[in-house]
Amino acid sequence: MTGSLETAYMPGRFAPPTRGHIQTMLWLLERFDRLVLGIGSCYELGTVRHPLLASIREKMVLSSLRAAGVALRRVRIVHLTDFPGDWDAWWRHTTSIPGIEDVTHFVTGNEDDILAVMRAKGLELPFALINPEKEDLGAFHFAYHATDLRKAIVDGDYERFRLIAAEGTINLMGLVGGFAGIRRAMQDAGTRFVPGRQAADAVVTCEHAGRRWLLCGRRRTGDFKDVLAIPGGGIAVYESPLDAALRKLRDETGLTFEIMNRSVEPVHLRLGGSRLCEIHTLGILSTDDPRLGGTRGGSAQPFHVALDCDPEVLRPLLDRDSAGLHDVAFRPEEEVAAAGLAFQQMHSVRAAGLCLGAA
C-alpha cells in the first residue's frame, strides 16, 4: 500500500469474541495499515447483551490476534460508553473517538442496530463504509456470531463452542468464570448499568511473614472526606478501566506500574522497573444508593495487585500526600477492617480476599 496510512475502525461488543470477529480483523489488517477497535458497553455485566466485562473482552481479542501472529502495535483499542435508550448520543460518542480524523474506513455489519438506523436518519459517514457481511472475505470468512456462541454454552455443546469461539476466548473463559457467567447472563440477572460516575479502583496488597496490608489513604475532598479510601477515580472517556486504575494508582500513591502483557488475565505488570507482578480483574460494582455510591452514583471496577514483600520496602516509592489522597500508607488489614473504607470499596477489598471479618 502506498501513499498516506489508512486506518479501519471497527466498533463492536464482541460478547464474547468469535472466530468470525477475529477473521474479520485479520482480513482488515491485510488491507489497512492500522486497526482501531471500539469495545462497546463498558459498564454493565451479566445481561444477555453484556455477558462479560469490556476489559475481559479486550483481553480475549488481543490474545486471539497475538496467537494469529499480529503485531499488536498496529491495533488500538478504545472503550465505548453505554447510552441506554439514546442512539444519537451513542452515535456521536462512537464517531468522536480520539484520532477519528485519521480513520479512513468505518467497519460494521450490524444491520438492525446501526445501518438501518443510519439510513432512517439520513446519516452519512465522513469515511468509507465497509460491511463485512457483504464483502468476499475469502479464506478469512467465518459465518458464526456471538449469539451462536452463547447458545452453544447454554446448551452445553462444547464441540460447537470450540468451533465458534476465538482462540483467546477459549483460553480465557475458565480464568474469568465465563461459562457460569454467560449462563447467568442468559437469564438477564446481572449488574445493571447505573448512570453517574464510572470509576476504577486499585486494591494493592502486601503479604509478608503471615500478615497482610492494604494500600490506602484519606480522601482530601468531596464525598467521604477524610475517610480511608483505596486509590481510584473516574474513568476518562474512551479509557480502559485497567488504564484508569493504574493512572489513579500512580497519581494518588506514586506507585508506577508498567504493563508488560495486557492480553492475559491477570495482566502482567512490572513495578519500579524490577518487580514483576500481576493485576487481577475483580468485576464491577454498581449502585444508586448514595451511602455507597456517593452523590454521583454509577459504578466502580476494582482491580487487585498482590505484592509479596514487606511494605517497608515500598515506603520510599510512596507519595504520602497527593491531590486526591493524604496520609497514604500500607495499613494492616485489621486496621482497615475496623475503620472501613469510602464508597463501595470494602466490597472490592473483600473480593480480593482481605478484611473478610469486617462488619
One pLDDT digit (tens) per residue for the chain, 359 residues = 344 689 999 999 998 999 999 999 999 999 999 999 999 877 777 777 778 889 999 999 999 999 999 999 999 999 998 787 899 999 999 999 999 999 999 999 999 999 999 999 999 888 999 999 888 888 888 877 888 999 999 999 999 999 999 999 999 988 777 888 888 888 877 777 777 788 999 999 999 999 999 999 999 988 899 999 999 999 999 999 999 999 999 999 999 999 999 999 999 999 988 899 999 999 888 887 877 777 777 889 999 999 999 999 999 999 888 888 999 999 999 999 999 999 889 999 999 998 766 54
d(CA 293, CA 206): 27
Q: Looking at domain 198-351, which of 1.20.140.10, 3.40.50.2300, 3.90.79.10, 3.40.190.10 is its CATH number?
A: 3.90.79.10
**Which of 5, 349, 17, 338 is CA-nearest to residue 169?**
17
d(CA 313, CA 317): 8
d(CA 232, CA 341): 12
d(CA 245, CA 215): 13
pLDDT at 356: 67
CB contact at 8 A, 253 and 231: yes
Q: Please give the grid coordinates belonging to residue 274.
A: 524490577
The ranges assigned to domains in the chain are 7-185, 198-351
pLDDT at 1: 39
d(CA 218, CA 342): 9
Q: What is the pTM of this model?
A: 0.90
Q: Please give the grid coordinates belonging to residue 140.
A: 478469512
CA dist 206 → 209, 228, 231, 271, 315 (Å): 10, 17, 15, 13, 12
pLDDT at 45: 75
d(CA 83, CA 86): 5
CB contact at 8 A, 22 and 166: yes
pLDDT at 322: 85
Question: What is the biggest distance separating any 2 CA atoms in the chain, rounded to whole angstroms?
Answer: 66
For residue 152, count other CB atoms closer than 10 A to its CB. 20
**Extended beta strands in 68-172, E state:** 75-79, 105-107, 128-130
Which letter, b or e, does each residue of 47-71 get, where b requires 16 or more Cβ atoms within 10 Å of its Cβ? beebbbbbbbbbbbbbbbbbeeebe
d(CA 235, CA 40): 15
- What is the signed CA dihedral for 336, 342, 345, 349, rounded to 10 degrees? 0
d(CA 44, CA 102): 30
pLDDT at 313: 94
- The verdict on domain 7-185 having CATH code 3.40.50.620 is yes
